[in-house]
Amino acid sequence: MSRSIKELSVHYDPINESNTFTSGDIVEGRVVLEVTKEIKVDSFFVKLTGDAHVSWTEGSGDDERTYSDHERYFKLKQYFIQESSKRGESEKNTTLVSGENYGPVIRPGSHVFPFRFQLPQQNMPPSIKAFHGWVRYVLTVKLSRPWKSSSTASTELTFVMRNDGTNDHLLQPQSGSQNKKMKLFGSGKMSMTVTTDKTGYMQGDDFKYSSQAPQSKLPKLKTLACSVNCWVSINDFMHILRFFYIKILNFTNKFVQCCIKTYMLT
C-alpha cells in the first residue's frame, strides 16, 4: 500500500448471530480510508461479487488433463468517486448501485464511506472452500489514482441457502443399519443402527446422531470410529469437501450420542 494511504479496509454489519447471509438480504457496511496527505483519486468503488470455480486433474504423464470452469452469479458495484466522463455509463455484467458521490480530492485524515447492497433474489449455492473448488461471496474495495498502483482490500461473506419450504423434507430424521461380522479381534455378529436428528444440514448447524447396538451379547469393543463425508456437485461433477473422523474411546455402552459442530472451511 502507498505511503500516503495508511488504511484501506472494508467492513460489513452482521445481521444475525451466525453471521450469515442469504438471498435477498441487505448487506450494509463501510469503507474506511485513512490518508496521511492530500491525494487525487480517479476511481473509488466497492463491489460485491458471487463466484464459483472448480479445477481438477485426471490421468498422468502424456495423458494428464486438467479441467476447470468458472461461473459468476452476480456483480454489484457502488462508486464513491468516478470520473465525470464515465458517470451514467453501464458496465458489462455489472449492476450499478446508486450512492453518495464524493469529490476527486481526499484530504488528510480518516474517512468513512457507507455502502448498501441487496443480494439477488435467486438460487445460489452456499459458501464453500475445498481442494477442487470454491464458492465465494466477496466484498472488495478498489482505489485508483493517477500514475499510481491501485490499492485494494476485501472481505468474504458467508452465504447460506434460504429454506423456502421446498426442502422441509430435509428436516425429517433419518436412520440406517449395518451388520458386521467380527472375526479379527473377536467373534460373533454386531448390528448397529445410526440415527440423525434430520436429513439436511447447513453451515453452523449441530450435527447430532445416535448409535445403538441392540444385541444383548456384543464383542468387547475399545474404540468406536465415526466418519462423516460431505459432497458437493459443481457442473455435474462430484467432489468431496469435508471429512470428520471421531473416535469414542472406552466404548462399553450399547447406546452412544454425539454432537458435531459444523463450520465453514476458510
**What's the rounded Cα separation, in Å, for the pair 100 and 102?**
7
**What's the rounded Cα separation, in Å, for the pair 48 and 142?**
12
Q: Smallest Cα–Cα separation from 51: which of 167, 164, 154?
A: 154
Residue 257 lies in a domain: yes
**What's the rounded Cα separation, in Å, for the pair 109 and 220?**
71
Give the pTM: 0.66
- The three three-digit cell numbers of residue 116, written as one number: 448498501
User: Does the pLDDT value for residue 65 go beyond 70?
Assistant: yes
Q: Judging by beta carbons within 10 Å of its beta carbon (0-12, 13-18, 19+), is residue 70 exposed, middle or buried? A: exposed
**What's the rounded Cα separation, in Å, for the pair 103 and 128?**
39
Rg (CA), the chain: 26
DSSP structure class, residue 41: -
- pLDDT-derived band at 213, boundaries 50, 70, 90: low
* pLDDT given for residue 101 in this prediction: 86
Same domain, 73 and 10: yes
What residues make up the domain containing 119?
A: 5-157
Question: Are the beta carbons of 117 and 13 closer than 8 angstroms?
Answer: no
* pLDDT given for residue 60 in this prediction: 87
* pLDDT given for residue 2 in this prediction: 73
**Which of residues 51 and 164 earns the better pLDDT score?**
51
Same domain, 131 and 48: yes
Residue 163 lies in a domain: no
Same domain, 137 and 182: no
Q: How far is CA 172 from CA 166, 199, 205, in A?
A: 13, 6, 15
Same domain, 126 and 187: no
Same domain, 153 and 188: no
* pLDDT given for residue 242 in this prediction: 41
Of 66-80, 102-116, 127-141, 241-255, the poorest mean pLDDT is in 241-255
When the pLDDT of each residue in the chain is averaged and rounded to a whole number, the result is 78
Same domain, 146 and 178: no
Of 75-89, 142-156, 238-252, the poorest mean pLDDT is in 238-252
Q: Smallest Cα–Cα separation from 139: which of 47, 73, 21?
A: 47
* pLDDT given for residue 262 in this prediction: 43
Question: Are the beta carbons of 49 and 137 closer than 8 angstroms?
Answer: yes
5-23 pLDDT per residue, tens:
999 999 999 999 999 999 9
Q: What's the start-to-end Cα distance of the chain, in Å? A: 24
74-94 pLDDT per residue, tens:
999 999 998 877 777 888 888
* pLDDT given for residue 40 in this prediction: 94
* pLDDT given for residue 237 in this prediction: 44
Which residues, in sequence order, are bridge partners of residue 135? 52, 128
CA-angle at 200, arms to 225 and 24, nearest 5°: 140
CA-angle at 231, arms to 229 and 236, nearest 5°: 160
User: Any alpha helices (H) in 112-238, and if so which ranges?
Assistant: none
157-210 pLDDT per residue, tens:
999 987 665 566 667 787 777 777 666 555 566 667 777 777 766 655 666 666
Same domain, 204 and 127: no
Same domain, 141 and 84: yes
- The three three-digit cell numbers of residue 2, written as one number: 502507498
Where among 157, 179, 204 does a domain terminate? 157
> How do strand 95-96 and strand 65-81 relate by DSSP bridges?
parallel
* pLDDT given for residue 220 in this prediction: 56
- Residue 199 φ then ψ, to 5°: -90, -40
**Which of residues 76 and 249 earns the better pLDDT score?**
76
Residue 197 lies in a domain: yes
Give the residue-averaged pLDDT of 215-228. 55
Where among 109, 138, 157 does a domain terminate? 157
**What's the rounded Cα separation, in Å, for the pair 217 and 180?**
14
User: Does the pLDDT value for residue 116 go beyond 80?
Assistant: yes
Same domain, 137 and 98: yes
* pLDDT given for residue 139 in this prediction: 98
Same domain, 187 and 115: no
Percent of the chain with pLDDT over 90: 39
User: Does the pLDDT value for residue 28 go beyond 70?
Assistant: yes
Place of cell 454386531: 190
Q: What's the total number of domains in the chain?
A: 2
